[in-house]
């Protein structure tokens, strides 16, 4: 059996195969999250029609859709801290592997779902068993330095953006199947494809993905999840209050992560509803046309990861990059109602989704780097888990809240209300981000995490 550490290392000190596997796992995570959207409305309607009738399905399908989507994030919020503790205690590699194998089982269950209850159970299990978005951030933080952190993080987020482009095609073209003995299972082929992909990547990681050197240097120490106070060796029971007291900088970056996730994901779910709406400022777009605009947004995200984010982060730092991404979203989100006021509505909408894609690419990558730079490798897994839990909770509540604002706005002839509210709060977030310290531009040098050569590199960068 090949040794996990056998792949040839690249010039940056990170194995070429390891970096490829990181990108594949990130792509898989994007598919797990995004695959449901193109088949969400039709699947929920078919479930409700079979159980409650056509009239009930037409009236209640949007509400059931919001809850099916948000259930994943609620479950993921519960599991994030647990996976973070596993990563700090047993290793990043084991946490990633457990997430991959967990997603295989959850995807298979979703594949055979023939009722809303079974589909909801499958999505909850997906959130509970797979928190690899957080674990990958911790892994990347361990294996990168100030010299290659932006590049590696950007490449990983590029794969997530690529999943945003590919998933609508897979989910849209392959959905809908009748299974002998089970009946109509609309998600069977897309979810089965997802399960096979997760299993393939899991086996590859089992053979070739090594544990991070940072964790290996700490494995002889008992890294406990309870927080160790900076003033001594006394440990206290883990709690949110203690976390904020001891890890103030980490808690601050996590708060910013949750803040923009709340409004971004909420408006992501309201966007298709708004563009399909035939009344008010709605654009009356067909589902296929909306899918093309979402693909354009994903392509813009990919382009941002390749050519826009890296030079911005290298030149101005990740705090400034984060602020730029927030501003792009603060402008593009409330601008969604402008196309209806112009002669060429679809051209304007294309510009809006491209700017939104650029903003998403910049803000997601920069916040990963900021969270990693705020902590040390001994607690990176726990911090990543807390960040994942908090952001997942923010996304879930954001979807529900924006959905409620959408319903209120539709009844009161102001459907653009949730988008304007989101844009306003993102502007406030930009203003608040000026309080972030400049030290977040570079990783924290720490014995056992960086070599003396890498610490010197950080010092040189800081001095310049």
**End residue of a domain, out of 191, 210, 229:** 210
- The answer to whether residues 397 and 304 belong to one domain is yes
Instruction: Specify the pLDDT at position 6.
Output: 40
Counting the structural domains of the chain, the total is 2
Q: Would you list the DSSP string of 182-201?
A: TEE-TTHHHHHHHHHHHHHH
Q: Does residue 224 lie within any of the structural domains?
A: no
Candidates 407, 383, 369; CA nearest to 148 is 369
- The answer to whether residues 205 and 246 belong to one domain is no
Matching residue, tokens 């960068």? 461
- What are the beta bridge partners of residue 15? 9
- The answer to whether residues 348 and 274 belong to one domain is yes
| CA 244 – CA 251 distance, rounded (Å) | 6
Q: Does residue 233 lie within any of the structural domains?
A: no
- We report the CATH number of the domain holding residue 455 as 1.20.1250.20
Instruction: Specify the pLDDT at position 427.
Output: 96
Q: Does residue 230 lie within any of the structural domains?
A: no
SS3 461: helix
| CA 221 – CA 323 distance, rounded (Å) | 38
- The answer to whether residues 309 and 430 belong to one domain is yes
Tell me which DSSP letter residue 444 carries: P
Tell me which residue range forms the domain holding 191: 14-210
Q: Does residue 192 lie within any of the structural domains?
A: yes
Give start and end residues of each alpha helix (H) in 16-112: 16-34, 37-52, 54-90, 92-111
SS3 317: coil
- The answer to whether residues 437 and 296 belong to one domain is yes
| CA 163 – CA 197 distance, rounded (Å) | 12
Tell me which DSSP letter residue 462 carries: H
Instruction: Specify the pLDDT at position 3.
Output: 44
Instruction: Specify the pLDDT at position 285.
Output: 78
Per-residue pLDDT of the chain (464 residues; tens, 9 = 90+): 444 444 443 434 578 899 999 999 999 999 988 888 777 777 888 888 888 888 888 777 778 888 888 899 999 988 888 888 888 888 889 999 999 999 999 999 998 888 899 999 999 999 999 888 888 888 888 888 777 877 888 888 889 888 888 887 776 666 666 666 666 678 888 889 999 999 999 999 999 999 887 766 665 554 444 444 443 443 444 555 666 666 788 889 999 999 999 999 888 888 877 887 777 667 777 766 877 888 888 899 889 988 898 899 888 888 999 999 999 999 999 998 888 888 888 899 999 999 999 999 999 889 988 988 888 877 788 888 888 889 989 998 998 898 888 878 877 878 888 999 999 999 999 999 999 887 787 666 554 444 433 333 333 333 43
| CA 423 – CA 54 distance, rounded (Å) | 37
**End residue of a domain, out of 154, 189, 210:** 210
Instruction: Specify the pLDDT at position 128.
Output: 92
For residue 34, what are its two tokens? 């995004």
- The answer to whether residues 201 and 272 belong to one domain is no
CB of 209 closer than 8 Å to CB of 96: yes
| CA 157 – CA 302 distance, rounded (Å) | 8
| CA 384 – CA 257 distance, rounded (Å) | 11
Instruction: Specify the pLDDT at position 448.
Output: 46
CB of 269 closer than 8 Å to CB of 402: yes
For residue 304, what are its two tokens? 């941002």
| CA 73 – CA 463 distance, rounded (Å) | 41
pTM here is 0.77
- 410-420 burial by CB neighbour count: b if 16+ within 10 A, else e? beeeebbbbbb
- The answer to whether residues 299 and 388 belong to one domain is yes
Cα dihedral: 183, 186, 192, 194 (round 10): -160
**End residue of a domain, out of 160, 195, 210:** 210
- The answer to whether residues 179 and 276 belong to one domain is no
- Backbone φ and ψ for 235, nearest 5 degrees, come out as -110, 145
């Amino acid at each position: 059996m090949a040794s996990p550490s056998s792949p040839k290392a690249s010039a940056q000190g990170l194995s070429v195969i390891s970096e490829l596997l990181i990108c594949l796992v990130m792509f898989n995570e994007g598919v797990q999250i995004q695959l449901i959207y193109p088949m969400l409305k039709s699947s929920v309607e078919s479930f409700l029609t079979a159980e409650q009738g056509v009239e009930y399905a037409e009236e209640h399908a949007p509400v059931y859709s919001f809850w099916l989507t948000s259930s994943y994030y609620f479950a993921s919020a519960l599991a994030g801290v647990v996976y973070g503790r596993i990563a700090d205690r047993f290793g990043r590699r084991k946490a990633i592997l457990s997430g991959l194998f967990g997603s295989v089982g959850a995807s298979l269950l979703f594949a055979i779902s023939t009722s809303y209850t079974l589909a909801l159970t499958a999505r909850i299990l997906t959130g509970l068993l797979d928190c690899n978005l957080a674990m990958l951030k911790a892994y990347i933080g361990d294996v990168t330095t100030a010299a290659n952190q932006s590049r590696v993080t950007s490449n990983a987020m590029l794969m997530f953006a690529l999943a945003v482009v590919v998933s609508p095609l897979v989910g849209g073209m392959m959905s809908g199947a009748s299974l002998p003995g089970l009946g109509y299972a609309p998600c069977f082929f897309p979810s089965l494809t997802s399960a096979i992909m997760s299993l393939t990547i899991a086996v590859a990681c089992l053979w070739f993905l090594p544990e991070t050197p940072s964790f290996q240097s700490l494995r002889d120490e008992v890294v406990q999840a309870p927080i160790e106070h900076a003033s001594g060796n006394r440990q206290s029971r883990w709690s949110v209050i203690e976390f904020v007291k001891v890890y103030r900088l980490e808690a601050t970056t996590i708060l910013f992560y949750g803040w923009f996730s709340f409004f971004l994901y909420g408006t992501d779910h309201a966007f298709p509803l708004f563009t399909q709406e035939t009344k008010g400022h709605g654009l009356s777009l067909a589902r296929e046309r909306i899918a093309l605009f979402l693909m354009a947004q994903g392509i813009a995200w990919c382009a941002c990861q390749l050519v826009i984010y890296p030079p911005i982060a290298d030149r101005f730092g990740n705090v400034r990059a984060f602020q730029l991404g927030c501003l792009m979203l603060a402008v593009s989100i409330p601008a969604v109602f402008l196309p209806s006021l112009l002669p060429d509505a679809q051209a304007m909408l294309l510009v809006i989704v491209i700017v939104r894609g650029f903003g998403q690419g910049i803000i997601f990558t920069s916040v990963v780097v900021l969270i990693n730079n705020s902590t040390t490798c001994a607690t990176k897994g726990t911090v990543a888990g807390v960040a994942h839990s908090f952001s997942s909770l923010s996304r879930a509540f954001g979807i529900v809240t924006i959905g409620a604002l959408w319903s209120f706005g539709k009844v009161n002839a102001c459907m653009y209300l949730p988008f304007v509210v989101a844009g306003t709060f993102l502007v406030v977030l930009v203003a608040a981000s000026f309080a972030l310290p400049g030290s977040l531009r570079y990783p924290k040098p720490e014995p056992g995490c960086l070599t003396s050569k890498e610490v010197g590199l950080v010092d040189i960068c800081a001095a310049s």
